């Protein structure tokens, strides 16, 4: 990381950091490695998306009914998260199309750059046969601790910034209604010193949706002045025969919240 900072000082450096947990530790040196790498991350990374081993183990057990998760199970879940975060970089879109946008939207101060990652729905193929969750349901699930990649409770903290990345069969009208419902919840609070909060964006992969985006993105920005929303019309892709079910729609939420302090 230090070498990258020297050689590419003007480039945005985003990191996916997988942290160990005492309950599922495989080596006695894991805590030392975590401390040393975190020190480097503070100084030389612009935005670090955190993943906690304990959290993703619990998700595999609880949501996917995997009694003894393997590294393959964990990596496929992490891969789905990375795919959702980078979808707007890999497909055409007006906003959030480069790494700098994530840093700008989610990091109010340089050292506070550890966004909390949440993904929904995380369900097994068996459950997907009779469960097709709506936009409102997957949005609400993103604010629940059970779908987070880090063990902490955001209801005990306040949000500084948030970015919601939708994929699949999602239309702006449904997103608007889901966001409006979230605003009414008393358990979801935002700091009063960060005026940017959230920013609106759209991503698309066809000419039809490019035209739709051009006509409507300006209105979306005014509606979601407190939230960052990305919509990609390609549904999530899963590994054939894997643990995750193929669903019509999904959302990945990146949020900078004071509750992340619990993880440290």
| Bridge partners, residue 254, by sequence | 117, 163
Active-site option among 2, 101, 126, 262:
101
> Coil, strand, or helix at residue 229?
strand
* Non-local CB neighbours of 177 within 8 Å, separated by 6+ positions: 135, 136
101 carries an active-site annotation: yes
β-bridge partners, 203: 93
Residue 81 exposure: Cα atoms within 13 Å on the Cβ side = 26
Under 8 Å CB-to-CB from 259, ≥6 apart: which residues? 116, 152, 153, 154, 155, 156, 157, 158
Alpha carbon distance 122, 73 (integer Å)? 12
Give the catalytic positions in this structure.
Answer: 101
């Amino acid at each position: 990381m230090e070498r990258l900072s020297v050689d590419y000082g003007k480039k945005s450096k985003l990191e996916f950091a997988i942290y160990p947990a005492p309950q599922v530790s495989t080596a006695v040196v894991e805590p030392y490695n975590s401390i040393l790498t975190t020190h480097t991350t503070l100084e030389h990374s612009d935005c670090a998306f955190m993943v906690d081993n304990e959290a993703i183990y619990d998700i595999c057990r609880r949501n996917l009914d995997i009694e003894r998760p393997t590294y393959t199970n964990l990596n496929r879940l992490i891969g789905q998260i990375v795919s959702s975060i980078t979808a707007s970089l890999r497909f055409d879109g007006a906003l959030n199309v480069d790494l700098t946008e994530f840093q700008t939207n989610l990091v109010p101060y340089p050292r506070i750059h550890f966004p909390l990652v949440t993904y929904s729905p995380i369900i097994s193929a068996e459950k997907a046969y009779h469960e097709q969750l709506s936009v409102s349901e997957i949005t609400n699930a993103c604010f629940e601790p059970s779908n987070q990649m880090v063990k902490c409770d955001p209801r005990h903290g306040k949000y500084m910034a948030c970015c919601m990345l939708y994929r699949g069969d999602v239309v702006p009208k449904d997103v608007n209604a889901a966001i409006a419902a979230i605003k009414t919840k008393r358990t979801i609070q935002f700091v009063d010193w960060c005026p940017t909060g959230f920013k609106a964006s759209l991503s698309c992969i066809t000419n039809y949706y490019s035209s739709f985006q051009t006509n409507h993105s300006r209105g979306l920005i005014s509606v979601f002045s407190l939230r960052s929303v990305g919509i990609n019309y390609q549904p999530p892709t899963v590994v054939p025969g894997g643990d995750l079910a193929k669903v019509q729609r999904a959302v990945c939420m990146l949020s900078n919240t004071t509750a992340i302090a619990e993880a440290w």
